[in-house]
């Protein structure tokens, strides 16, 4: 479907409300192969006077290596009917599997960043990393440590400046 550029904050509610079902964070590996990770966490707003998508990626993930190398990513908001693809992207690693191919995703060149976006998704945020920092284990609420970090595999926090947002024509209408 043809995508049109929209204001960065045109679909804030739709994006945040889709998090519990999973968004797809796409990245590009050293061989130029796109990869997609399911994310249920993220925040959106303004920092340093720039529109920002804040994403968290565990150091162990293939996506971590990719984003560290390229310094960019895309956040793709899927349609409800793509739930199986989201589930696949949330359970296998791009180290071993070509998730774009298995999901039938088309890697569409992004205008503003190196990482492509997923042609079949409804809405896309093209994000350039302008700051990254790690969570501080000793600064966590203990309940969060036991729930998410029992294995010590902590997250890096990426502040991705939203350079462009594309939406399927008619999305949200």
Name the site residues for its own copies (rule: CB under 8 A): 9, 12-13, 16-17, 19-20, 40-49, 52, 54, 56, 128, 130-136, 139-141, 144, 147-148, 157, 161
CA-CA distance, 162 to 15, in Å (whole number)?
13
CB neighbour burial string for 14-52, b if at least 16 within 10 angstroms, e if fewer: ebeebeeebbbbbbbbeeeebbbbbbeebebeeeeeebb
Give residues with Cβ within 8 angstroms of 17, minimum separation 6.
Answer: none
Q: Which two tokens stand for residue 114?
A: 């190196």
CB-nearer residue toward its own copies: 26 or 51: 51
Cβ 5 to its own copies, closest distance in Å?
19
Cβ 141 to its own copies, closest distance in Å?
4
Token look-up 């690693």 returns: 93
Cβ 62 to its own copies, closest distance in Å?
20
CB-nearer residue toward its own copies: 58 or 97: 58
Cβ 115 to its own copies, closest distance in Å?
17
CA-CA distance, 86 to 39, in Å (whole number)?
9
CB-nearer residue toward its own copies: 40 or 170: 40
CB-nearer residue toward its own copies: 52 or 103: 52
């Amino acid at each position: 479907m043809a995508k049109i550029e929209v204001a960065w904050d045109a679909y804030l509610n739709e994006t945040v409300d889709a998090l519990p079902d999973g968004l797809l964070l796409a990245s590009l590996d050293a061989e130029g192969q796109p990869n997609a990770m399911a994310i249920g966490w993220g925040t959106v707003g303004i920092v340093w006077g720039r529109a920002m998508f804040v994403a968290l990626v565990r150091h162990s993930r293939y996506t971590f290596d990719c984003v560290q190398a390229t310094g960019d990513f895309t956040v793709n908001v899927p349609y409800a009917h793509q739930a199986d693809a989201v589930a696949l992207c949330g359970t296998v690693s791009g180290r071993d599997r070509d998730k774009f191919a298995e999901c039938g995703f088309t890697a569409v060149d992004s205008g503003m960043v190196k990482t492509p976006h997923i042609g079949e998704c409804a809405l896309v945020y093209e994000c350039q990393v302008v700051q990254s920092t790690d969570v501080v284990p000793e600064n966590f609420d203990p309940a969060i440590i036991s729930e998410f970090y029992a294995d010590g595999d902590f997250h890096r926090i990426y502040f991705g400046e939203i350079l462009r947002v594309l939406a399927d024509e008619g999305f949200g209408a």
